[in-house]
């Protein structure tokens, strides 16, 4: 809404996808917490299937969200003032109010704050380090996927999946 891009169908669809990703990961978190695995002495562990699915797809979802922000916001992330001090300078602030104002009746200060927050998450050193962390925090992406496969083999789920295929083909 800050850039006026909310009026475009493609941007609306992209936002819908980001919201669906949020729902998916929230569902994984709920499944881990509300469908735990019994453990020793009455303790429980988070649901392993949900945890492994979360670990598998988070390394793909986070870069996808960053890419969506960059595509949808586009140049809105580029032309930003360098400092909050620019608001305190009347000569600069009047140009910011005129040329960097938001869409949908949003003032320039609110729009700039939103764009700065998005820039911090997607374009700064901090954002780059966080993206790298999300890619690798659970281990190498290939290893995470192998853990899902091995868990399905050990738990009998892979065999059950193969039996379902055999039943369908019979």
Task: Report, in angstroms and rounded to the nearest whole number, the Rg of the chain calculated over CA atoms.
Answer: 23
Domains in the chain: ranges and CATH? 5-138 (1.20.140.10)
pLDDT tens-digit map of 11-45:
999 999 999 999 999 999 999 999 999 999 999 99
pTM: 0.83
- Strands (E) across the chain are located at 37-38, 44-45
**Nearest C-alpha neighbor of 83 from the set 73, 92, 74, 94:** 92
For residue 88, the cross-strand partners are none
Tell me the two tokens of residue 12: 């609306």
């Amino acid at each position: 809404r800050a850039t006026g891009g909310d009026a475009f169908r493609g941007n609306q669809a992209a936002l819908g996808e980001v919201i669906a990703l949020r729902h998916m990961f929230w569902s994984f978190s709920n499944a881990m917490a509300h469908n735990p695995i019994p453990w020793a002495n009455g303790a429980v562990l988070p649901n392993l299937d949900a945890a492994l699915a979360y670990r598998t797809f988070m390394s793909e979802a986070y870069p996808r969200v960053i890419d969506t922000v960059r595509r949808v916001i586009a140049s809105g992330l580029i032309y930003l003032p360098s400092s909050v001090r620019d608001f305190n300078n009347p000569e600069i602030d009047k140009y910011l109010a005129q040329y960097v104002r938001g869409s949908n009746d949003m003032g320039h200060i609110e729009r700039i704050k939103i764009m700065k927050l998005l820039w911090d998450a997607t374009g700064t050193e901090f954002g780059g380090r966080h993206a790298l962390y999300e890619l690798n925090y659970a281990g190498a992406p290939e290893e995470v996927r192998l853990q899902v496969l091995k868990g399905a083999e050990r738990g009998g789920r892979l065999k059950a999946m193969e039996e379902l295929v055999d039943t369908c083909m019979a």
